């Protein structure tokens, strides 16, 4: 059954979009991530214009993050103070990302920027995660245990100005690096149509030593508000949000995430990290192939937008 997407200006199969949403929702529930870094490339690969794919995916991210954030509140797994600081930085990054998105779209370079960004970001992060997974697996096989950090030890950036206490996260650190990480995640999220959980969760864990119990809920709180901001900005400034496509993605994602969450309970931690690393690296390599393959149509005709 076909349905016409008014903003993307093309017909698509309803069952294909629902199936993609369910599959990405399953993976999201399995790994506890937003899934935007998978859905946006899939939409581009089936022919959805990159600008529409990126902007529309923010609606699905906002919907899934709402569920996760509410669940974290019920479990008392949310540091509201830390989440507020992250959200402030995320708002600034989101605004900058949407502005850069619009500028590249007017210049006719948006698709190239998205592809290169995916290749760079995902191959680097996926490669680092894969190397860390192999190191952890090898150390466990040889019986090595990582020494615990001694009291009073902390990274230099935690002692920068504007230090704040976050009792729920047992953290006393400068707000500057925290907001800087959130700004980067907001910028990348609004530019590439991803939630950024696969970036901010490791950052909170390894850079700021936030307890695992509150990391997921706090990151989802920040992603929720930045996704809503990106959705509004994309809809108003770029007119690139296709709400028909967004509804189909949300419906499929909600269905698939329920099964993924159940399957994830039986997944071992080392297997979890390895599979997630391979997934992220695979997306980056898939976009890298796009850069070297000869396109089916070497030339295209499009209406140029007048300069602002």
**Of 23, 11, 19, nearest in space to 260 by CA:** 23
How would you label 23-61 residue by residue, b for 16+ Cβ within 10 Å and e otherwise?
bbbbbbbbbbbbbbbbbbbbbbeeebbbbbbbbbbbbbb
- Mean pLDDT is lowest, of 14-23, 32-41, 215-224, for 32-41
Mean pLDDT of the chain: 83
Q: Average pLDDT of 195-199?
A: 80
Is residue 306 over pLDDT 60?
Answer: no
11-16 long-range contacts, CB within 8 A, separation 24+: 12/46, 12/48, 12/245, 14/248, 16/46
Percent pLDDT > 70 in the chain is 86
Q: What is the pLDDT of residues 252-279, one digit of tens each?
A: 887 887 777 677 666 666 676 677 778 7
Q: What is the pLDDT of residues 121-164, one digit of tens each?
A: 888 888 887 887 788 777 777 766 555 555 455 688 888 999 99
What 3-state DSSP class applies to 3? strand
How would you label 114-142 residue by residue, b for 16+ Cβ within 10 Å and e otherwise?
bbeebbebbbebbeebbeebeebeeeeee
> How far apart (Å, rounded) are the C-alpha atoms in residues 41 and 114?
10
pTM of the model: 0.81
Question: What 8-state DSSP symbol labels residue 149?
Answer: P
- The two tokens of residue 231 are 């959705």
State how far the alpha carbon of 193 is from the alpha carbons of 129, 134, 227, 232, in Å.
21, 29, 9, 13
Q: What is the pLDDT of residue 92?
A: 96
How would you label 78-94 residue by residue, b for 16+ Cβ within 10 Å and e otherwise?
bbebbbebbbbbbbebb
- pLDDT-derived band at 37, boundaries 50, 70, 90: confident
Percent pLDDT > 90 in the chain is 34
Q: What is the pLDDT of residue 118?
A: 86
Q: Average pLDDT of 26-52?
A: 81
What 3-state DSSP class applies to 165? strand
Of residues 154 and 170, more confidently modeled: 170
Q: Whose structure tokens read 């230099």?
A: 156
Q: Average pLDDT of 18-38?
A: 77
Q: What is the pLDDT of residue 34?
A: 65
Q: What is the pLDDT of residue 73?
A: 85
Is residue 64 over pLDDT 90?
Answer: no
**Of 118, 70, 57, 114, nearest in space to 252 by CA:** 57
Q: What is the pLDDT of residue 297?
A: 60
């Amino acid at each position: 059954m076909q349905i016409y997407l008014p903003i993307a200006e093309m017909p698509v199969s309803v069952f294909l979009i629902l199936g993609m949403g369910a599959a990405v929702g399953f993976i999201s529930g399995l790994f506890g991530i937003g899934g935007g870094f998978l859905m946006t490339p899939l939409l581009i690969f089936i022919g959805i214009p990159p600008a529409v794919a990126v902007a529309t995916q923010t609606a699905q991210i906002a919907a899934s993050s709402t569920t996760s954030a509410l669940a974290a509140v019920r479990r008392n797994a949310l540091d509201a103070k830390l989440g507020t600081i992250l959200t402030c930085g995320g708002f600034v990054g989101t605004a900058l990302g949407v502005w850069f998105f619009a500028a590249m779209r007017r210049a006719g370079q948006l698709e190239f920027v998205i592809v290169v960004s995916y290749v760079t970001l995902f191959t680097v992060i996926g490669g680092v995660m894969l190397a860390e997974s192999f190191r952890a697996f090898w150390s466990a096989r040889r019986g090595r245990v990582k020494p615990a950090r001694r009291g009073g030890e902390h990274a230099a950036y935690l002692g920068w100005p504007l230090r704040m206490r976050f009792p729920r996260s047992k953290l006393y650190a400068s707000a500057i690096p925290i907001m800087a990480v959130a700004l980067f995640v907001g910028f990348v999220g609004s530019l590439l149509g991803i939630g950024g959980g696969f970036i901010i969760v490791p950052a909170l864990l390894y850079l700021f030593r936030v307890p695992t119990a509150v990391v997921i809920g706090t990151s989802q709180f920040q992603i929720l508000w930045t996704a809503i901001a990106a959705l509004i900005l994309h809809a108003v400034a770029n007119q690139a949000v296709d709400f028909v496509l967004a509804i189909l993605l949300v419906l499929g994602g909600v269905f698939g995430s329920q099964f993924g969450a159940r399957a994830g309970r039986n997944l071992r931690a080392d297997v979890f990290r390895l599979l997630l690393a391979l997934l992220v690296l695979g997306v980056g390599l898939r976009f890298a192939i796009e850069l070297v393959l000869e396109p089916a149509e070497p030339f295209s005709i499009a209406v140029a937008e007048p300069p602002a």
